[in-house]
Structure 1
Amino acid sequence: MDNESGTGGGGGGGGGKVVVNRAMSLDGFIAGPGHAMDWVGEHMTSETFPEVVAATGAMLVGRGTYDVAQGMSDENTSYDGGPQFVLTHEPPVEPDPRVTFLTCGVEEAVATARAAAGGKDLEILGADLAAQCLRLGLVDEILVYVLPVLLGDGVRFSPPGEHQVDRIDLEPLATAQSGPVTMLRFRVRK
């Protein structure tokens, strides 16, 4: 399939889409044991698919993903996806000037971050946050970068537990290859 871009979309607000964006090992893990994410930087950077970076206006990140990123080196976390929002029950004691911490509900957080995206796409990062957004029908697309690695254990694409996702049907939109990384793009059927 050809790579598609453009705007559209549900989830309320105007302009860009709400996109769950994640790297995944071939065996279905988005983070390794201990939430390790260093393996992602071994295979891709923000230059791997520059059109995704160009389409992104803001990011809404779960607190766990934010905390993991803080423990990684800057070379593995540099990504200019616009304003960054972190949804959390407890903002950190030390403020981070690069981030706006939100303590509201998921729907309000998505609306706030979409407004900041300026008509571009809102990227959702974090397993639990993505699952909550999917369950609430707020997601327009899912973008998955399949990396050439088997992790054997870690955080699943759709984790079990409190925010587990029931069946959601997807429509394949595009497949693209950049070096060792295969990007799969799906529209969420509503």
Structure 2
Amino acid sequence: MSDTSTGTGKVVVNRAMSLDGFIAGPDHAMDWILDLMSAAAFPEVMAATGAMLIGRGTYEVAKQMADEDTTYDGGPEFVLTHEPPEEPDPGVTFLTCDIAEAVATALNAAGGKNLEILGADVASQCLQRGLVDEILVYVLPVLLGDGIRFSTPGLGRIDLEPFSNTQSGPVTMLRFRVRK
């Protein structure tokens, strides 16, 4: 677990979500996020981010979207997967270890800044293991009707403490501490 009193960053689940609770649309579509939000909308989040731990599915979708304007430098990227690709991806480290070890590795690489957790499955695993300090949600003004839900089935109850909400254009950012 991170400790902000020693200057170590926090583990933050970071999500963009439709108003009806989806983080990706049908067929894992995430282009609607770029239609409504840019990485520059909340510069303080980027400034506080030192590394990212990403699920393989989210990594693959982001790779497909890379041709679009997705300049998002959140520091070193770590992808947790059972099967790393045969061709290495420069700037991406593929991890095949336990979720707790993956979080520790990526948090160490964050250099005292926050570690962002991206991807429904990886985030749910981190929440189930008590590895998350905060959840940051960008609520976008769209109803998708179907897709990938905010959390995976079977996550169980996680109590949260709201501590911030900020509006930037059409996007509302909600922040919660995970109660231990």
Please give the TM-score of this superposition, normalised by the length of structure 2: 0.95
Change (3 A) 1:132 1:76: farther
**CA displacement at 1:70 relative to structure 2:** 1.1
Partner deviation per Cα, 1:30-66 (whole Å, 9 max, x = no partner):
0000000000000111100000000000000000100
1:1-190 map, 5 Å: 9=2, 15-160=8-153, 164-190=154-180
Contact residue 16 and residue 122 of structure 1 kept, 8 A: yes
CA-based RMSD of the aligned residues comes to 1.6
Identity percentage of aligned residues: 75
**CA displacement at 1:14 relative to structure 2:** 6.0
Please give the TM-score of this superposition, normalised by the length of structure 1: 0.90
Question: Gaps spanning 5+ residues in structure 1: where?
Answer: 1-7
- Paired residue secondary structure (2:36): coil
Per residue, is there more helix in 1 or in 2? 2
CA distance in 2, matches of 1:73, 1:100: 17
Segments ≥4 residues shifted beyond 4 Å = none
**CA displacement at 1:137 relative to structure 2:** 0.0
**CA displacement at 1:98 relative to structure 2:** 1.7
